[in-house]
Structure 1
Amino acid sequence: MSATRKKSLSIVYNGVEAWKDLSPHIEQFSYTDAVDESDKITLSVIDRDLKWAGAWIPKKGDVIMPAIILENWNYENEKMTFNCGSFVVDDFSFSAPPLTGSINGVSAPVNTNFKESGNSRTWEAATIQVIAAELAGKYGLEIVYDADEIPVAKTEQNERTDSEFLKALCEKYGLGLKVYANRLVIWDYRQYYSKPAIMTLTPSMVSNWGYRSTMQGTYTGAKVSYTDPGTKKSVSVVIGSEERLYKTTQKADSEADARRIGEGAILKANRKETTMQIQLPPKLSLVATENVEISGFGKMDGKYFIQKVSHQIKKNGYNMQVSLSRIPESGIQTNTEQNAETAKNERHGETYIIKKGDTLWNLAQQYYGDPTKCTAIYEANKEEIERAAKKNGKSGSNGGYWIFPGQSIKIP
Structure 2
Amino acid sequence: METIDQIYIKVLYNGKNITADVSKSLMSLGYTDHMSEADTLDITLEDSQGKWQSEWYPEKGATITAQIGILGAEVLDCGIFEIDEIELYGSPDAVNIRCIAAGFKQGQKRTLKSHVHEKKTLSQIVHTIAADLGLKVIGSISNITVERLVQQKKGNLTTLKKLASRYGYTFNVRDQNLIFIKNEELEGKQAVAYFDKTDLISFSLTDRTFGTYSSASIRFHNPEAGSIIEYKTSEGGLPNADDILHLEQSVDSIEQAQQMTKSALREANKMQQSGNISLPGSVVLISGNIISLHRLGRLSGDYLIKSASHTLSSTSGWLVDAEIYKVGGKEELEKQTERNTPKKIKKTAASKF
TM-score, normalisation: structure 2: 0.84
How far the C-alpha of 1:57 sits from its partner, in A, is 1.9
Match in the other structure for 1:16:
16
Q: Deviations for 1:60-98, whole angstroms, at most 9, x for unmatched residues?
A: 211111001312xxxxxx432211111111122112443
Residue 5 of structure 1: how far off its partner (Å)? 7.2
For residue 291 of structure 2, what is the aligned residue in structure 1? 292
Amino acid at match of 2:28: Q
Q: CA deviation at 1:226?
A: 4.6
User: Measured at CA, do residues 54 and 251 of structure 1 come closer, stay the same or move farther in structure 2, by a change above 3 Å?
Assistant: same
Cα separation, 2, equivalents of 1:230 and 1:320 = 52
Q: Does 1:235 align with 2:229?
A: yes
Higher strand share: 2
The answer on 1:182 being equivalent to 2:176 is yes
| CA displacement 1:256-277 (0-9 Å, x = unmatched) | 1001111121222223221131
Q: Deviations over 1:97-119 (max 9, x none)?
A: 4321311111133523423x322
Match of residue 214, structure 2, among 202, 207, 220: 220
1:11 match: secondary structure: strand
Give the one of 152, 156, 179 matched to 1:162: 156
CA distance change for structure 1 residues 133 and 248 in 2, over 3 Å: closer, same or farther? same
**Correspondences of 1:97-108 after superposition (within 5 Å):** 97-108=91-102
Q: What does residue 194 of structure 2 align with?
A: 200
The question of 1:209 aligning with 2:203 is answered yes
Task: Give the superposition deviation at 1:218.
Answer: 2.5
The CA RMSD measured in Å over matched residues stands at 2.4
Higher gyration radius (CA): 1
1:121 to 101, 104, 115: 115
2:272 corresponds to which residue? Answer: 273
Report SS of the residue matched to 1:86.
strand
Q: What is the match of residue 43 of structure 2?
A: 43
TM alignment of 1:46-195, pairs within 5 A: 46-71=46-71, 78-109=72-103, 110-115=105-110, 117-195=111-189
| CA–CA distance in structure 2, aligned partners of residues 181 and 326 of structure 1 | 28
Partner-residue secondary structure (3-state), 1:218? coil
Which whole-Å deviations, capped at 9, do the CAs of 1:181-235 have from their partners, x for residues lacking one? 3311111011221112122221121111111122333322221235579973212
SS of equivalent residue, structure 1 residue 158 = strand
Higher relative contact order (CA 8 A, sep 6+): 2
Distance 1:296 1:45 in 2: 40
Residue type at the aligned position of 1:135: I
| CA displacement at 1:39 relative to structure 2 | 0.9
**Deviates most, 253-262 or 156-165:** 156-165
Three-state SS of the structure 2 residue aligned to 1:124 is: strand
Q: Aligned equivalents of 1:108 and 1:223: distance in 2?
A: 39
Aligned pairs, how many?
Answer: 321
Percent identity for Structure 1 against Structure 2: 21
Partners of 2:63 and 2:102 within 8 A in 1: no
Secondary structure of 1:276 counterpart:
strand
Confirm or deny: 8 A CA contact 1:218 1:244 kept in the other structure.
yes
2:338 is matched with which residue? none
Query: Structure 1 residues 127, 55: CA separation in 2 closer, same or farther (over 3 Å shift)?
Result: farther
* Aligned 8 A contact 2:53 2:95 in 1: no
Write the letter of the residue equivalent to 2:193. Answer: M
- The 2-side partners of 1:83 and 1:267 are apart by 31
Between 1:30-39 and 1:89-98, the stretch displaced more is 89-98
Instruction: Give the drift of 1:25.
Output: 1.6
> 2: distance between equivalents of 1:230 and 1:104?
49
Distance in 1 of aligned mates of 2:154 and 2:57: 32
Separation in structure 1 between the aligned mates of residue 140 and residue 5 of structure 2, nearest angstrom = 37
Amino acid in structure 1 at the alignment position of 2:66? P
Greater alpha carbon shift after TM alignment, 57-66 vs 93-102 = 93-102
8 Å contact 2:32–2:309 — kept in the other structure? Answer: yes
